[in-house]
Amino acid sequence: MKTLLLEIDNLKRKLDSLRPLTKSQVKNLKTLFDVDFTFNSTAIEGNTLSLNETKLVLLEGITIGGKSTHEHLEIINHKEAIDYIEKLASKKTSEITRSDILSIHNIILRGIDSENAGIYRKVPVYVKKKDNSIFKFPEPFQIDNLMNEFFEWLINSQNLHPVLFAVEAHTRFVSIHPFVDGNGRTARLILNLLLFQFGFPPAVIKVTERAVYLDAIDGWDRNVNLTPIATLVANCLKESLLLYIETIEKKIIWR
């Protein structure tokens, strides 16, 4: 893990040496990662639009035949949530509020489940693990206190390496599971909000890594072991850094 974080630090320094980016460079990279992040994060949760279909919806405003309004809204809302966290990234981490997190979730579920959008759940939630054991998330009455502890942790844990800090914030949030739906998407947006605050590009967890990702979260739930999820995210971030640098140096245009 130390070697991987050192590689990331070195790539980050190289990226910083290429800054400031022009407006066209920023727009080009945003186009690439808005589509990539949105496709993968929604696909992890079961959205069936392909990468090319996601691109058509976001960049061309095209409706995909045979796909539900629900799935289209998941794509559109996720892109809007990315725009929102990019604005939030100008805040200090200590200034992130409960309202900010609720707003991220509200955007994700807007028009999909307005009754629960931006509202902590009032019902218990269980999930079946792949070994068929049943895992119970915290009771609804515990969520307020757990989220207060989450924000206290954010304020008091910024001495961690930025990547480990962002990963642990993501994983702590997932373990609380404060919403009826949209917890995973919200957690991955929080992860990238914190990375943005430190000047990193987004870490995009690929849908092809879904099983590894869920197993890594399970490792935290069972043993509070951050290494598997931290390794996965760090490798995703390394890939993004390399792609950012290559795009800038080779003047690649993404369509």
3-state SS of the chain is CHHHHHHHHHHHHHHHHCCCCCHHHHHHHHHHHHHHHHHHHHHHCCCCCCHHHHHHHHHHCCCCCCCCHHHHHHHHHHHHHHHHHHHHCCCCHHHCCHHHHHHHHHHHHCCCCCCCCCCCCCCCCEEECCCCCEEECCCHHHHHHHHHHHHHHHHHCCCCCHHHHHHHHHHHHHHHCCCCCCHHHHHHHHHHHHHHHCCCCCCCCCHHHHHHHHHHHHHHHHHCCCHHHHHHHHHHHHHHHHHHHHHHHCCCCCC
Catalytic residue among 72, 78, 105, 177: 177
Residue 48 CB: number of other CB atoms within 10 A?
12
**Could you confirm whether 105 is annotated as catalytic?**
no
Active site members: 177
